[in-house]
Amino acid sequence: MTATSATATRLRARTGGPKDDGPKILEHVAGWTFVVVLAMLVTQLGLL
């Protein structure tokens, strides 16, 4: 294995992705909170 492929393998292992374990419910709640706050802001500013 060359130095470049060894570095690429290490970098790929650290990037995370769909198989990354974590608090999925927290991401879901944060995403929906952002959507609701954005909708409230758009409504208050009269952009809709």
Residue-by-residue pLDDT tens, the chain, 48 positions: 566 655 555 555 666 666 666 678 889 999 999 999 999 999 999 987
The confidence score (pLDDT) of residue 10 equals 54
For residue 6, being part of any structural domain is answered with: no
Has residue 40 been placed in a domain? yes
- Provide the pLDDT for residue 9: 54
Position 16 in a domain: no
Is 7 within the bounds of a domain?
Answer: no
Instruction: Supply the range of the domain harboring residue 34.
Output: 23-48
Distance CA 30, CA 26 (A): 6
Query: b/e map of 7-24 (b: 16 or more CB within 10 Å)?
Result: eeeeeeeeeeeeeeeeee
The total number of structural domains that make up the chain? 1
